[in-house]
């Protein structure tokens, strides 16, 4: 089977690479992925997929479905295509072509077994966390597993991702001249400083892997004026989504307390929350077995710790995993000039082909051995239950 996959991907290769290069050149940033989205949709329509444009309340998103028979597994393949202001410095241009390659390959080699493939085009990963909005609006309920690829320095999978909550808080005090009549002032900046200090105190009394960061966005003006208005940003993270909800409640008390102490008021803006993925080691193993079978470069152990991603929200609800596919030297950071420079290289093209093969291989393994899907689902449910109990 692996030989057949390789041969078919080689046949598709030039077309996939051309799409990847075109999306790289378009370099459309978050929320403006008009042409990149259309290019993928057009190709899928030409190839017999049923394509819906703008799904789940997100512009420049799509859902493309191909179904054979009834009652088989439903494979979800997700693709981002947004660039950074610098260009495609995170390698998202490779994702659409890679999952399309995987989908066509599954279709070619599935025989007459029933199955469904759903490709989701998920825009605005870098800015809004597009998948969170799409999920809130009913997307990803029609798939049994969710698979992605992401360009990387090493070929591996992730075990965890971090849940994240982000807040912007503006304190409102009373402005006054700092020398003439400071007693009339109520400092919005003091409230911010007290909240920062309280977070440092809280740090000792939370689970070890809790992350809390903060910064001042607007300190309120020069030193000789008691600032009447000042704004800070706070980010809270944990590997456990339920635990983070507890930390958020404690954080809110800090903000309330800071306002109370300084006789200020506050307004709070809260961004959409990122969930932590539920690790699905069974699915990870299957993907890495395929990565070895396809002789992927720079094979590395699974990453125990990572940052936050909107794919985490999808993988909180259903089993999912992302193959990180090597195309730059080990140690190269994402969002870097090195990523950008390698975007259309032979190594990038190889990454598109290999990840198409690995994702197709993973799905075809599940089709051939249906018990694998049961094991993946059982592994997911067990770990999700454990997450709640560990608190």
Decide: is 83 part of the binding site for Zn ion (CB under 5 A): no
Question: Of the two residues 32 and 246, which places its CB atom closer to Zn ion in the complex?
Answer: 32
Question: Of the two residues 311 and 316, which places its CB atom closer to Zn ion in the complex?
Answer: 311
Cα gap 378→100, rounded to integer Å: 28
Residue 13, sorted as left (phi over 0), alpha (psi -120 to 50) or beta, turns out to be alpha
Question: Of the two residues 90 and 98, which places its CB atom closer to Zn ion in the complex?
Answer: 90
Question: Of the two residues 81 and 167, which places its CB atom closer to Zn ion in the complex?
Answer: 81
Decide: is 152 part of the binding site for Zn ion (CB under 5 A): no
Question: Of the two residues 71 and 85, which places its CB atom closer to Zn ion in the complex?
Answer: 85
Site string for Zn ion, 43-82 (x = CB under 5 A): ----------------------------------------
Binding to Zn ion (CB under 5 A) within 322-381 occurs at: none
Cα gap 373→384, rounded to integer Å: 17
Decide: is 139 part of the binding site for Zn ion (CB under 5 A): no
Percent helix, strand, coil in the chain, to 5, is 45, 25, 35
DSSP character at residue 370: T
Decide: is 232 part of the binding site for Zn ion (CB under 5 A): no
Binding to Zn ion (CB under 5 A) within 99-138 occurs at: none
Q: Which residue sits closest to Zn ion, CB atoms considered?
A: 90
Question: Of the two residues 86 and 212, which places its CB atom closer to Zn ion in the complex?
Answer: 86
Residue 222, helix vs strand vs coil = coil
Where does residue 162 rank: exposed (0-12), middle (13-18), buried (19+ CB within 10 A)? buried
Please work out the total of residues on this chain that contact Zn ion, with binding judged by CB under 5 A.
1
- Of 256, 274, 273, 277, the closest CA to residue 265 belongs to 256
Instruction: Name the one range near Zn ion by CB under 5 A: 88-96, 172-180, 345-353, 369-377.
Output: 88-96
Instruction: Name the one range near Zn ion by CB under 5 A: 86-94, 265-273, 339-347, 369-377.
Output: 86-94
Which ranges constitute the DSSP H helices of the chain?
Answer: 2-26, 34-46, 95-109, 130-136, 188-202, 241-262, 281-293, 311-317, 337-341, 346-368, 371-389
Instruction: Name the one range near Zn ion by CB under 5 A: 89-97, 207-215, 280-288, 375-383.
Output: 89-97
CB of 30 to Zn ion, least distance (A): 11
CB of 150 to Zn ion, least distance (A): 6
Q: Is there a contact between 165 and 235 (Cβ–Cβ < 8 Å)?
A: yes
Instruction: Name the one range near Zn ion by CB under 5 A: 28-36, 52-60, 85-93, 261-269.
Output: 85-93
Buried b (16+ CB within 10 A) or exposed e, 197-226: ebbeebeeebeeebbbebeeebbbeeeebb
Joined tokens for residue 351? 């990454």
Q: Which of 9, 27, 78, 90 binds Zn ion (CB under 5 A)?
A: 90
The enclosing H or E element of 118 equals strand 115-121
Residues near Zn ion (CB under 5 A): 90
């Amino acid at each position: 089977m692996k030989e057949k996959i390789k041969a078919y991907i080689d046949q598709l290769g030039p077309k996939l690479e051309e799409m990847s290069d075109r999306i790289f050149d378009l370099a459309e940033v978050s929320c403006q992925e008009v042409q990149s989205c259309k290019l993928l949709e057009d190709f899928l329509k030409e190839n017999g997929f049923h394509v819906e444009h703008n799904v789940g309340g997100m512009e420049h998103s799509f859902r493309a479905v191909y179904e054979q028979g009834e009652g088989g597994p439903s494979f979800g393949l997700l693709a981002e295509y947004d660039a950074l202001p610098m260009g495609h410095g995170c390698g998202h241009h490779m994702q659409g072509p890679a999952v399309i390659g995987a989908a066509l390959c599954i279709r070619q080699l599935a025989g007459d077994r029933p199955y469904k493939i759903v490709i989701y085009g998920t825009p605005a990963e870098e800015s809004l966390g597009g998948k969170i909005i799409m999920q809130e609006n009913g997307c990803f309920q029609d798939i049994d597993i969710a698979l992605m690829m992401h360009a990387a320095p090493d070929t591996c999978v992730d075990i965890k991702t971090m849940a994240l909550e982000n807040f912007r808080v503006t304190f409102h005090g009373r402005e006054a001249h700092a020398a003439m009549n400071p007693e009339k002032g109520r400092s919005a900046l003091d409230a911010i400083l007290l909240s920062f200090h309280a977070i440092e105190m809280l740090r000792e009394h939370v689970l070890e892997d809790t992350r809390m960061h903060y910064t001042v966005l607007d300190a309120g003006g020069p030193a000789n004026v008691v600032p009447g208005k000042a704004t800070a940003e706070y980010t809270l993270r944990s590997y456990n989504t339920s635990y983070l909800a507890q930390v958020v409640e404690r954080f809110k008390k800090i903000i309330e307390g800071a306002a109370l102490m300084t006789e200020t008021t506050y307004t709070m803006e809260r961004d959409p929350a990122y969930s932590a993925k539920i690790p699905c080691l069974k699915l990870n193993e299957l993907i890495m077995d395929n990565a070895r079978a396809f002789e992927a470069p720079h094979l590395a152990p699974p990453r125990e710790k990572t940052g936050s991603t909107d794919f985490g929200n999808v993988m909180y609800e259903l089993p999912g995993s992302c193959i990180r596919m090597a195309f730059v030297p080990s140690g190269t950071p994402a969002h870097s000039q090195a990523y950008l420079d390698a975007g259309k290289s032979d190594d990038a093209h190889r990454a598109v082909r290999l990840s198409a093969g690995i994702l197709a291989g993973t799905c075809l393994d599940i089709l051939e051995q249906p018990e694998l899907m049961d094991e993946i689902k059982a592994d997911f449910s067990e770990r999700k239950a454990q997450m709640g109990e560990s608190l």
